[in-house]
Structure 1
């Protein structure tokens, strides 16, 4: 007998328009949703009483497009004691007891300021004013830290990144073999993905083209040694990352009956992955083997994003139908 796909455990209906992105807090029971297209990046101070109407920090990036920003993905095996330096070198990993104490016990403004130095929270990657470029911004100084490629003027809107078109998807991360220097995996309009390292911003470490249409989502697992990508074409690609050689290699391609994947996510324990599709469906896969596990059919419009909580117990999906759904699927073994 075929099993029926599960329903969400909760549905959040606080939005009046399409929910374009969602993200769980690293360890507190908070879910952030929504994304503006006003050319700014904002940091919000929050408390038990609710959200302020005024952001703690506002950065005018002058970028107006559909590419979502990315904070730093750090491998769980790294040291917990490193801090971010002025040149983007750091050593970070899972949340330490110190970080929990700072986040949970300190006033909100102190928590935000102090923890910008941990886990790469000081930096964020986004598509630049010239939409073919990638930029990393320092949230503490509200200044651009580096751009890729570095040899293209930021105000040259006519310049295209060797015909690759706009940057459509990003993942900022810290490979364990990078000596603590930030890396970015970027997906472009022509279906290609480029791997950038801040130590050589003029030339990418590698360039691959796994998709025939614009890459709309890239996600890297918690080991920072592999990931999954989705695009406007009819396939999902699982790949491995080899920092020592700079290689990005296909592990498995999954064909889709209906094209269009807007969002991808890998559960922190690395066991399952999820995709958010144009066909209103959330699809769940075994991340190691690539076989399909479930198709979730709650949303009635394009699914824009999917994400997992840090304890791997909850998954959230966001849609153009203005809702955010919470799911409990394949609970991790304690």
Structure 2
């Protein structure tokens, strides 16, 4: 008999708007943090020890914040808003100031993607002004690297993921489009390596496991679409994973590559074993659609948390499958 689904260990309130994006920073010292971006333009920095917001940043003129991340090995925060700006923040010594910004040109909901290519240097991919355009720049110089536009008309770019291969090939980028297509781009050569139709509806979200060359994407449909890359970098679709209710906002793989979490339009978070995509748990807490999910980056895996942000303006924190349970 399966165990009943757990309750959240605690809930964070006071974001003041729908929670579009979440990002943990728990590796540096004794002060684990969770960053959230809201539909009202605020970025909250939550102290997970006190379970309170230790700072609230306002940098996108009240426009919805759709993505936040941190630059590894620095005290810098990066955020993307629907004011078409990507902002860099200095958080050193309690500061919370915008030190630089990049004009993205997109009014859509496609989140940026960040990849560290060498110590102190990152690639930032962001949607461009044209519907299908993806721009890649280098940080902190902001030097343009390339612009990726497909030859065919695929509609708006919906989600992107930069990653680095172990084979010596340059950075690659996975992109999901409005017509349901997935494209794998070779950033160095500005060329498409492979393409697949993963959904009949727009690709709302995707995530990818570079170690095992496996990914999964979601849409407004009643299933998830798993896929993998073969040795020639061809996208190979796998059997879809059926959902009880349609609509997925975001997908996230835990750092140990054992769990996959999905943020559902049906107000639920679903947890799957990543290896076989076996359903493990349905987490019910929120009163409106779940918009974001994120696993923490605690150095001790026993302390790993799952956070879920909802349109109901609350963040739920969960501790699940942290003691070596069978999650295949």
TM-score interval, smaller chain = 0.7 to 0.9
**Equivalent residue, structure 2, for 1:87:** none
- 1:292 to 2:279 alignment: yes
Question: Structure 1 length normalisation: TM-score?
Answer: 0.77
Tell which deviates more after alignment, 277-286 or 180-189. Answer: 180-189
Greater share of strand residues, 1 or 2? 2
Runs of 4+ in structure 1 displaced over 6 angstroms? none
**Equivalent residue, structure 2, for 1:107:** none
Note the alpha carbon deviations across 1:265-284, whole angstroms, 9 max, x for none: 01111111010011111000
**Equivalent residue, structure 2, for 1:328:** 319
- 1:181 to 2:170 alignment: yes
SS in structure 2 at match of 1:44: strand
CA distance in 2, matches of 1:302, 1:148: 32
CA distance in 2, matches of 1:165, 1:19: 26
Unmatched tracts of structure 2, length 5 or more: 38-64, 66-80
Match of 1:267 among 234, 254, 257: 254
Note the alpha carbon deviations across 1:167-189, whole angstroms, 9 max, x for none: 00111111212x25111100000
**Equivalent residue, structure 2, for 1:97:** none
Tell which deviates more after alignment, 275-284 or 320-329. Answer: 320-329
Q: How do residues 247-266 of structure 1 correspond to structure 2 at under 5 angstroms?
A: 247-266=234-253
* Aligned CA-pair RMSD: 2.1
Q: How do residues 1-334 of structure 1 correspond to structure 2 at under 5 angstroms?
A: 3-25=3-25, 27-28=27-28, 29-34=32-37, 35=65, 36-47=81-92, 49=94, 51-52=95-96, 54-72=97-115, 84=118, 116-117=120-121, 122-149=122-149, 162-177=152-167, 179=168, 181-201=170-190, 203-223=191-211, 225-242=213-230, 244-311=231-298, 312=301, 313-333=304-324
User: Are the structure 2 counterparts of residues 224 and 133 from structure 1 closer, same or farther at C-alpha, using a change threshold of 3 Å?
Assistant: farther
Tell which deviates more after alignment, 272-281 or 310-319. Answer: 310-319
CA distance in 1, matches of 2:215, 2:26: 19
Tell which deviates more after alignment, 275-284 or 231-240. Answer: 231-240
SS in structure 1 at match of 2:204: strand
CA distance in 2, matches of 1:133, 1:224: 28
CA distance in 2, matches of 1:127, 1:137: 11
The Cα shift of 1:327 comes to 1.0
8 Å CA contact 2:215–2:228 kept in 1: the answer is yes
SS in structure 2 at match of 1:131: coil
CA distance in 2, matches of 1:126, 1:224: 25
8 Å CA contact 1:252–1:290 kept in 2: the answer is no
8 Å CA contact 1:222–1:269 kept in 2: the answer is no
**Equivalent residue, structure 2, for 1:103:** none
Whose RCO is larger (CA < 8 A, sep 6+)?
1
Question: Structure 2 length normalisation: TM-score?
Answer: 0.79
8 Å CA contact 1:18–1:321 kept in 2: the answer is yes
The alignment of Structure 1 onto Structure 2 pairs a total of residues equal to: 276
